[in-house]
């Protein structure tokens, strides 16, 4: 493959702190030599770890990739809170801890945040309210009612001893969460349950869209590789999808490549990966209301 051909697939990047997710996309565009590049699940500049980058036709899968759980490790500090819920913002509340909270009290607060919960997104976030992002309101000194969102916390636990330092308590944690979870807000909410302001003071994403940090590559490392060596790091689309597969007959392929709905296949509550002549062509989704299969993703109609 030459550099003027479109590359389809995923690169799993280990983003360093100080970079935005868009910075990563920009560098990958230069490394790969194509514009059609996107990412699944934004990482704030002060957060490092797994950022899944989609290339070419794999950008169609970003919505699917973002539904998969994410895992983090990090640090929570009790005793102060900031406007951004992390160290990027100004301190808005501070209360020195005189008598340290017990391990049991802190762990009970964390346990209450496991399962399905509701969260209010931080004012410094990209959520839109009335067509305007929350961080735009915050930067203008405006307040606005923030929407309540549901999230599922699959596993949130303390992973270190609790240090008591200059009127503050600090501990490490691990969390695996659903799409739409504001991981910074977990720290704030834990503090509210305990009765103390809290801040997420360090955060690393260890898994994103099913890919672990051990599978991620540094951008600086990729920059040292030849184009052919970079392509070896790209994960093909067919290796990303986990749905059942179906090999298409000639007539079925004619229907699929023309985007036709199909009612003759057995009902299923899942998606189907559709192959023709050993090539992944499309993904169909079963529509329970109409009781037929319809096109969800098209990768190749030739």
Convert the pLDDT of each residue in 199-211 to its tens digit: 999 999 999 999 9
Task: Please give the pLDDT value at position 121.
Answer: 76
The residue among 18, 7, 43 whose CA lies nearest residue 216 is 43
Catalytic annotation, residues: 44
Cα distance between residue 16 and residue 9, in whole Å: 22
Separation of alpha carbons 79 and 162, rounded Å: 13
Phi, psi of 206 (to 5 degrees): -100, -15
The 10s digit of each residue's pLDDT in 48-86 is: 999 999 999 999 999 999 999 999 999 999 999 998 899
Q: The whole model's pTM is what?
A: 0.90
Closest CA to 56 of 219, 236, 223, 209: 236
pLDDT of residue 42: 86
Q: Give tens-digit pLDDT for 257-289.
A: 999 999 999 998 889 999 999 999 999 999 999
Q: Please state, in angstroms and rounded to a whole number, the distance separating the CA atoms of residues 111 and 198.
A: 16
Whether residue 34 has pLDDT greater than 90: yes
**Residues with Cβ < 8 Å from 175, sequence gap 6 or more?**
71, 72, 74, 153, 155, 156, 157, 183, 186
Spatial separation of the C-alpha atoms in residues 127 and 147, rounded to whole Å: 9
Q: List C-alpha distances in Å: 279 to 6, 139, 238.
A: 17, 50, 9
Q: All domains of the chain, ordered by start, with CATH?
A: 9-68+210-239 (3.30.2350.10), 70-208 (3.30.2350.10), 243-298 (2.30.130.10)
DSSP tally for the chain: helices H, then strands E? 9, 18
Q: How do residues 115-132 score in pLDDT, each as one tens digit?
A: 999 998 777 766 777 777
pLDDT: which is higher, 180 or 177? 177
């Amino acid at each position: 493959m030459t550099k003027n051909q479109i590359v389809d697939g995923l690169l799993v990047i280990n983003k360093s702190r100080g970079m935005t997710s868009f910075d990563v996309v920009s560098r990958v565009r230069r490394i790969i030599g194509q514009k059609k590049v996107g990412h699944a699940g934004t990482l704030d500049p002060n957060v490092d770890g797994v950022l899944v980058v989609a290339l070419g036709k794999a950008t169609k899968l970003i919505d699917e990739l973002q539904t998969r759980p994410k895992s983090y490790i990090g640090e929570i500090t009790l005793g102060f809170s900031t406007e951004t819920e992390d160290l990027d913002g100004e301190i808005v509340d501070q209360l020195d801890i005189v008598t340290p909270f017990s391990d049991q009290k802190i762990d009970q607060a964390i346990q209450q945040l496991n399962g399905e919960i509701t969260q209010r997104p931080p004012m410094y976030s990209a959520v839109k309210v009335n067509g305007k992002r929350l961080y735009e309101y915050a930067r203008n000194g405006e307040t606005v009612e923030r929407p309540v969102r549901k999230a599922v916390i699959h596993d949130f636990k303390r992973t270190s001893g609790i240090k008591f330092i200059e009127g503050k308590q600090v501990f490490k944690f691990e969390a695996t969460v659903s799409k739409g979870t504001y991981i910074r807000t977990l720290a704030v909410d834990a503090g509210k349950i305990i009765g103390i302001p809290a801040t997420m003071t360090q955060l690393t994403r260890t898994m994103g869209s099913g890919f672990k940090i051990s599978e991620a590559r540094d951008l600086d490392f990729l920059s040292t590789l030849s184009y052919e060596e970079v392509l070896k790091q790209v994960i093909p689309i067919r290796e990303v999808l986990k749905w059942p597969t179906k090999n298409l007959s000639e007539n079925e392929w004619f229907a699929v490549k023309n985007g036709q709905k199909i009612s003759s296949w057995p009902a299923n509550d899942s998606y189907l990966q559709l192959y023709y002549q050993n090539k992944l062509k499309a993904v169909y989704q079963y529509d329970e209301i109409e009781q037929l299969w319809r096109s969800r993703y098209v990768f190749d109609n030739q």
